[in-house]
């Protein structure tokens, strides 16, 4: 098994290097003549006003929160799915119960209006 992960450990840095090399080639070959206008924030010609990193609409974070809950619970289901062939019917039904509770959570978020885009 460790052999297999060694391949991943080799592939990911190679992926990084393959992405970095054309960028480095660009640094060597491309012209570099920065000036104030060129380096300013691009907003289709309009001058940018105020801070960029401002407080943002809370809606996005609510979705992210629901995502975290669901993703963690979905990961719990994978061992159940892998062992599926060895499970009895009642064990499968227990998994279904877990999914139903998950669905209850979704229903709660839905009723509370967390899924509405305001």
Partner 1 sequence: MEFDFNNPFGSITRLLTDLLLGLGLDQPLVAFILAVVGAGILAGATLTTAGVFNIWLERKVGARFQDRLGPNRVGPFGLFQGIADAIKLVLKEDITPLGADKVVFNIAPLLAVMSVVGLWAVVPFAPQLIGADLNVGVLYVVAIGGVGTLSVIMAGWSSNNKYALLGALRTVAMLISFEIPMVLVLLVPTMLAGSMGMVAIVDGQDVWYLLMAPVAALVFFISSLAEVGRTPFDLIEAESEIVAGYNIEYSGMKFGMFMVAEFFHSFTIGALFTVLFLGGWRGPGSETFPLLGLVYFIAKTFFMYFVVMWVRYTFPRVRIDQVMALNWKFLTPLALVIVMTTAVVDKLALEQALPRTPVHLVLNIALILLTILALQAYARALRRKVEGLPEPEAGEVAGAAIGPG
Residues 47-106 touching partner 1, rule: CB under 8 A, are 48, 52-53, 56-57, 59-61, 63-64, 66-67, 70-71, 74-75, 77-78, 81-85, 87, 89, 92-93, 95-96, 99-100, 102-103, 106
DSSP state of 86: G
Q: Binders of partner 1 among 27-46, rule CB under 8 A?
A: 27, 29-34, 36, 38-44
CB of 28 to partner 1, least distance (A): 9
Size of the site for partner 1 (CB under 8 A): 74
What is d(CA 105, CA 114) in angstroms, rounded to the nearest whole number? 11
CB of 98 to partner 1, least distance (A): 10
Half-sphere exposure of 44 (CA within 13 A, CB side): 0
- For residues 98 and 77, is the Cβ–Cβ distance under 8 A? yes
Q: Binders of partner 1 among 2-31, rule CB under 8 A?
A: 3-12, 14-16, 18-20, 22-23, 25-27, 29-31
- For residues 109 and 66, is the Cβ–Cβ distance under 8 A? yes
CB of 80 to partner 1, least distance (A): 8
DSSP state of 51: -
What is d(CA 77, CA 107) in angstroms, rounded to the nearest whole number? 19
């Amino acid at each position: 098994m460790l052999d297999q992960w060694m391949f991943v450990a080799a592939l990911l840095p190679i992926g990084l290097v393959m992405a970095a090399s054309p960028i480095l080639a660009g640094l060597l070959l491309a012209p570099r003549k920065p000036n104030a206008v060129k380096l300013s924030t691009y907003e289709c010609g309009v001058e940018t006003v105020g801070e960029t990193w401002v407080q943002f609409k809370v809606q996005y974070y609510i979705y992210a929160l629901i995502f975290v809950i669901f993703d963690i619970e979905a990961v719990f289901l994978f061992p159940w799915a892998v062992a599926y062939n060895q499970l009895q019917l009642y064990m499968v039904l227990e998994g279904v119960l877990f999914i139903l509770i998950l669905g209850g959570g979704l229903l709660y978020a839905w009723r509370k209006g967390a899924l509405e885009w305001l």
